[in-house]
Amino acid sequence: MHVWRIALLALSALLLLAPPASARAHSPHRERRAKTFHGLTPAGSGVVIGVLSGDTVSLRDGRVVRLAGILAPRLPRGGRAQDGEAGRTPWPLAEDSRAALEALVLNRTVSLMLGGADHDRYGRVLAHLVVRDGRRPVWVQDMLLRRGWVELAPHPDAPKGLAALRRAESYARAHGVGLWADGFYAVGDPDTAFRAQGRYAIITGRVLEAAEARDRVYLNFGADRRTDFTVEIDRRDLAAFRARHLDPLDLRDRAIEVRGWVEDHNGPMIRVTHPDQIVTTDGRWPRRRPARATAQEEGASPQTSPGEP
């Protein structure tokens, strides 16, 4: 009996010391994990009362939200594809893309999550949307990409969450669903890039030459710089590359995939403003070790920077 009494006393002490279930459920670790959903920051919520396109919604409180990190097919200015409004030809499947977003969020409460800046240059809220499906949170951008109704569109104002979104798009492309079943959205090459002028596109090819001139870096894909496909990176945008220890000049003779708006500037050209617009397809993009001359001259042991191999 004496042994049993000691055991009961020890168990009682453990129960008194253990935190209550409510405290465990709201532990700082759990809260921290909830607040860092793919690195995004919570920014309130709202009720969606209108879906303007496959990447833009309006909320009951009057705000217009542009879904960050994605691009939907363009509708005619001012409305749906069937409106036939002059001024802009709708892209294929634009209405299907809008309907896919509408099915996910219309008349539902959505949580807004920030991946960088909270507004775009047009004054719209720039956010990721999360909607509840029962007890399960559904990341709207991820779902649209996975089903193929939008394209990944990295932007320097909202860089967070892009790695997960890229995987979602890759799934849709591999399975040929949604937009990827239509030849209009097929991945192009330098010889056919001119066909995509005036719209967003993905181009794959091998960089023939990488050079810096007039405060810009140019990636040339052909021998004739005046007519062949080119990628341009302004010097002011190179800071984002340096932050990741990447140098676009290292892309010479590399096979890459680049995405962006195709312009007509001495031939088809994409202006790149963010490193996530470029992906190497023939191996890893080499990272440059940042300069540490002072530390090494003093005999200090160099430390590896985050993200370096």
Task: Give per-residue pLDDT as tens, 176-200.
Answer: 999 999 999 999 999 999 999 999 9
Domain co-membership, 174 together with 64: yes
In a domain, 241, yes or no: yes
For 132, left (φ over 0), alpha (ψ -120 to 50), or beta? Answer: beta
Segment holding 32, helix H or strand E: helix 28-35
- Which of 181, 202, 222 is the last residue in one of the domains? 181
pLDDT digits (tens, 9 = 90+) for 113-168: 998 888 888 999 999 999 998 889 999 999 999 999 999 999 877 788 888 999 99
| Range(s) of the domain holding residue 100 | 38-181
Burial bucket for residue 264 (CB in 10 Å: 0-12, 13-18, 19+):
exposed
Domain co-membership, 152 together with 269: no
Domain co-membership, 123 together with 237: no
Domain co-membership, 86 together with 168: yes
Domain co-membership, 195 together with 173: no
Domain co-membership, 57 together with 170: yes
Domain co-membership, 42 together with 176: yes
What's the pTM value of the predicted model, to 2 decimals? 0.78
| Cα 106 from Cα 103, distance rounded (Å) | 6
Q: How confident is the model at residue 57 (pLDDT cuts 50, 70, 90)?
A: very high
Domain co-membership, 204 together with 121: no
Domain co-membership, 114 together with 139: yes
Q: What is the CATH number of the domain that holds 259?
A: 2.40.50.140
- Which of 143, 165, 181 is the last residue in one of the domains? 181
Domain co-membership, 121 together with 213: no
Number of domains in the chain: 2
- Which of 161, 181, 201 is the last residue in one of the domains? 181
